[in-house]
């Protein structure tokens, strides 16, 4: 079974070809146009998707050494994400499926992140605990099975990636914030500043990052003129440390409570090297196996969409052509299908 998947939910135009369990192509075209604005501009994102989608699909087919006619099913992210961006991928995938008379399947972007680690670890099967840490989401999920997800906790304000992006802006570091903060943090002392790690009463698995961001802002302002390069590095490192302290103990706690042996970390923030190291260390200490995808499978990609499509198609599922984009779609139950 050869699946061509498309992902255009935010600012990456991505296409992948999955052939059985082998990933034949994983093409990701990032959109540099947003850098000058310091964040994703939705109208520009959808326009860039329109300009790129056709060539990204062509490249994926070429890399996979296959043709459209040989594709058995077309998968596409139908939510959550930016409405205009989702529509580009959805319309394109519908056109391909219609013209080739092959099945179409809409996939939940978050479900893609949940299963992203199985691309490199095919033996990894539910049940497992998954932490999605991206620009739009921070979710701790108990994956009982495909389509059976229990959300243990989520952010009550900013997402973890959003906090990285906002702190980068405060410190005058370039967009996207995550990689810039990580780079600055490499020269800093994570214990130089003690930033708050939010605890939410009665909700042990929920997260909050907006107080942390404000604490960074006040500290940075207080330093004002006297700020040295070292203070910036120390603040970045201490902020990163606080984020890790907000995430990792909750993983260990959930693993113990639910008697799990495997933990997946997914989403753009899972690229963060300090977080990766902290999760691996917690795994050794608390007796769980940590599965953290390679960088290209952490940030948005179509390979993870193809992977979920394979699981869902194997269960006899597919979408019809009335499939719509669902910008607010969540993990709690509803399927991507119409
Ligand atoms: O999963 P993703 O590509 O897109 C969403 O679905 O949101 O995640 C993007 C987020 C951004 O907020 C970016 O700053 C963050 O992931 N990110 C990082 C790193 N690389 C990307 N955050 C921390 N450290 C990194 N190395
Ligand atoms: Zn994502």
Digits of tens for pLDDT over the chain (338 positions)?
Answer: 999 999 999 989 999 999 999 999 999 998 888 887 778 888 888 999 999 999 999 999 999 999 999 999 999 999 999 999 999 999 999 999 999 999 999 999 999 999 999 999 999 999 999 999 999 999 999 999 999 999 999 999 999 999 999 999 999 999 889 999 999 999 999 999 999 999 999 999 999 999 999 999 999 999 877 777 789 999 999 999 999 999 999 999 999 999 999 999 999 999 999 999 999 999 999 999 999 999 999 999 999 999 999 999 999 999 999 999 999 999 875 443 33
Q: Is the CB of 164 under 6 A from ligand 1?
A: yes
Using the mean position of ligand 1's atoms as its centre, give its distance from the Cα of residue 299 in Å: 6
The C-alpha atoms of residue 306 and residue 103 are separated, in whole angstroms, by 13
Q: What was the pLDDT predicted at 335?
A: 45
pTM of the prediction? 0.95
**Residue 220 CB contacts under 8 Å (≥ 6 apart), including other chains:** 170, 171, 227, 235
Q: Which residues pair with 14 in a beta bridge?
A: 7, 28
Q: What was the pLDDT predicted at 38?
A: 79
Q: Which atom of ligand 1 is nearest to the CA of 298?
A: 1
Q: Is the CB of 136 under 6 A from ligand 1?
A: yes
Q: What was the pLDDT predicted at 336?
A: 38
Q: Which atom of ligand 1 is nearest to the CA of 81?
A: 6
Q: Is the CB of 272 under 6 A from ligand 1?
A: yes
Using the mean position of ligand 1's atoms as its centre, give its distance from the Cα of residue 62 in Å: 28
The C-alpha atoms of residue 312 and residue 259 are separated, in whole angstroms, by 27
Q: What was the pLDDT predicted at 43?
A: 85
Using the mean position of ligand 1's atoms as its centre, give its distance from the Cα of residue 271 in Å: 7
**Residue 327 CB contacts under 8 Å (≥ 6 apart), including other chains:** 79, 80, 81, 82, 83, 86
Residue nearest atom 13 in ligand 1 by C-alpha distance: 178
Q: Which atom of ligand 1 is nearest to the CA of 176?
A: 14
- What is 298-333 written as a DSSP string? HSS-SHHHHHHHHHHHHTT--B-TT----TT--SSS
Using the mean position of ligand 1's atoms as its centre, give its distance from the Cα of residue 34 in Å: 14
Q: Is the CB of 155 under 6 A from ligand 1?
A: no
Q: Is the CB of 158 under 6 A from ligand 1?
A: no
Using the mean position of ligand 2's atoms as its centre, give its distance from the Cα of residue 97 in Å: 24
């Amino acid at each position: 079974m050869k699946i061509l998947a498309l992902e255009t939910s935010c600012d990456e135009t991505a296409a992948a070809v999955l052939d059985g369990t082998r990933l034949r192509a994983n093409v990701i075209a990032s959109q540099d146009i947003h850098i000058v604005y310091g964040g994703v501009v939705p109208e520009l994102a959808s326009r860039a998707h329109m300009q790129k989608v056709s060539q990204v699909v062509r490249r994926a087919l070429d890399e996979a050494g296959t043709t459209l006619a040989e594709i058995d099913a077309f998968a596409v992210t139908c939510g959550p994400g930016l409405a205009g961006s989702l529509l580009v991928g959805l319309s394109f995938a519908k056109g391909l499926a219609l013209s080739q008379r092959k099945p179409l399947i809409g996939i939940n972007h978050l479900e893609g992140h949940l299963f992203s680690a199985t691309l490199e670890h095919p033996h990894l099967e539910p049940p497992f605990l998954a932490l999605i840490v991206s620009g739009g989401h921070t979710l701790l999920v108990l994956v009982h099975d495909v389509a059976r997800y229990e959300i243990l906790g989520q952010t009550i304000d900013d997402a973890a990636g959003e906090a990285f992006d906002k702190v980068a802006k405060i410190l005058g570091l370039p967009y996207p914030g995550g990689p810039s903060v990580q780079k600055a943090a490499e020269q800093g002392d994570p214990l130089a500043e003690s930033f708050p790690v939010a605890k939410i009463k009665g909700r042990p698995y929920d997260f909050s990052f907006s107080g942390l961001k404000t604490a960074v802002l006040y500290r940075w302002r207080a330093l004002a003129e006297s700020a040295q390069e070292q203070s910036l590095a120390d603040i970045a490192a201490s902020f990163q440390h606080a984020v890790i302290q907000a995430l990792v103990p909750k993983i260990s706690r959930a693993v113990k409570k639910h008697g799990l042996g495997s933990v997946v970390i997914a989403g753009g923030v899972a690229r963060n090297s300090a977080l990766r190291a902290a999760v691996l260390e917690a795994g050794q200490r608390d007796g769980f196996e940590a599965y953290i995808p390679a960088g290209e499978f952490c940030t948005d990609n179509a390979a993870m969409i193809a992977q979920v499509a394979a699981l869902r198609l194997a269960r006899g599922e597919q979408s019809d052509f009335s499939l719509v984009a669902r910008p607010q779609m969540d993990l709690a139950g509803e399927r991507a299908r119409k």
